[in-house]
Amino acid sequence: APPPSVEQEGALQALQALRSSPAYSAAYALEVWRRQEEERARLRMAENKAEIREQLEEEYRQRELARAQEFRHRQGELRDLEAKAKRKLLELQQREAAVKLELTNTKALSEEATRRADLAI
């Protein structure tokens, strides 16, 4: 490679002088600090995001558990109502059969009474 020109040498010396100045050191330290802070902020945001996601997932899980419990409770109530309705239906069918039997007996007694009355005349 060819030797550096005088202009290049001067530019290199000026650059070295700039880099060794207190202002450059302060600016460089500030830039390093800024990048570190940005990285810390990114990490905090990622942690916060993960924490919020976990909270939301837990809330969703709790709501699903409550919904499932309510569903089972309602199913139990429905089964109880169905059983009660079946018992009432059976009871009504038994009463209907008893009424029909009573009507049949009453009709038979009435016919017997009419027959006896006719015979007595």
Tokens of 70: 């309510």
- Over the stretch 61-94, which tens digit does the pLDDT of each residue have? 999 999 999 999 999 999 999 999 999 999 999 9
- Over the stretch 100-118, which tens digit does the pLDDT of each residue have? 999 999 999 999 999 988 8
Q: How far is CA 34 from CA 30, 37, 65, 117, in A?
A: 6, 5, 46, 121
Q: What is the pLDDT of residue 4?
A: 72
Q: What is the pLDDT of residue 121?
A: 75
Scored b (16 or more CB within 10 A) or e, 68-89 reads: eeeeeeeeeeeeeeeeeeeeee
Q: What is the pLDDT of residue 54?
A: 98
- Residues 20-28, mean pLDDT to the nearest whole number: 90
Please tell me the pTM assigned to this model.
0.52
Per DSSP, the residues of 84-116 read HHHHHHHHHHHHHHHHHHHHHHHHHHHHHHHHH
